Amino acid sequence: MEKLTERLLLREFTKQDVDAIAEFRRDPRYLEYYYRPPYTRAECVRFVNECIAWSKKSPRSKFQLAIADRANGVLLGDCGVRTESMERRRGDIGYELSPVYWGQGFASEAVRAILRVGFENLGLDEIEARCVVANKRSVRLLQRLGFAATERIPLGPGRGGFADRMLPERYVFLLDRDQWIERTHVF
């Protein structure tokens, strides 16, 4: 899968991406809302291998794509849309950029493209995003793209890859297909 946007190329991961991922995943600015020690290189290898494995599955239920600058190929971050159940037609998204590239609209541009993958390629009806209340940049991004906060989860253990740690208050944001279609005509 490849998606071109105005400034970005979203593409599948390769093993050569590990160093760029490891570089920003130890940056304290990046780690501020993850409540964990810096990622080790071995963890980044596992992450990239998992993304590559997902890309080979058929039928495919998980897309986790590298975000590259389409002008020079530099890796800026990554984003993904996943579903645990195609029947339920509900999925979730995640996104992360190297702090070097924050504040330029790159993440919003990439997330718009990954939402299209979720609604069009995966055929989802609803996409969720969980976000720590204090992570204002992420909250602004989700609001900008039309997500609405539907729930506030109090301090407690995370889920999935976050099940090993306590997380502070989080929002559950949702965007459904109709809201997304309405927004895409306004973009």
Ligand X SMILES: CC(C)(COP(=O)(O)OP(=O)(O)OC[C@H]1O[C@@H](n2cnc3c(N)ncnc32)[C@H](O)[C@@H]1OP(=O)(O)O)[C@@H](O)C(=O)NCCC(=O)NCCS
Residues making contact with ligand X (CB under 6 A): 30, 33, 95-97, 102-108, 131, 135, 137-138, 140-141
Q: Residue 86 or 168: which CB sits closer to ligand X?
A: 168
Supply the minimum distance, in Å, between the C-beta of residue 145 and ligand X. 8
Supply the minimum distance, in Å, between the C-beta of residue 136 and ligand X. 8
Q: Residue 10 or 131: which CB sits closer to ligand X?
A: 131
Q: Residue 6 or 87: which CB sits closer to ligand X?
A: 6
Supply the minimum distance, in Å, between the C-beta of residue 95 and ligand X. 5
Q: Residue 24 or 119: which CB sits closer to ligand X?
A: 24
Supply the minimum distance, in Å, between the C-beta of residue 103 and ligand X. 4
Residue 17 has which token pair? 């991406």
Q: Using DSSP, state whether 185 is helix, strand or coil.
A: coil
The residue sitting closest to ligand X, measured at its beta carbon, is 105
Q: Using DSSP, state whether 146 is helix, strand or coil.
A: coil
Three-state SS string across 90-112, please? Answer: EEEEEEEECHHHCCCCHHHHHHH
Q: Residue 123 or 169: which CB sits closer to ligand X?
A: 169
Supply the minimum distance, in Å, between the C-beta of residue 87 and ligand X. 26
CA angle 150, 115, 29 (to 5 degrees): 75
Supply the minimum distance, in Å, between the C-beta of residue 34 and ligand X. 7
What b/e string do you get for 111-141 counting C-beta neighbours within 10 Å, with b at 16 or more? bbbbbebbbeebebebbbbbbbeebeebbeb
Q: Residue 97 or 127: which CB sits closer to ligand X?
A: 97
Residue 54 has which token pair? 């997902």
What b/e string do you get for 152-172 counting C-beta neighbours within 10 Å, with b at 16 or more? ebeeeebeeeeeeeebeebbb
Residue 41 has which token pair? 């290189």
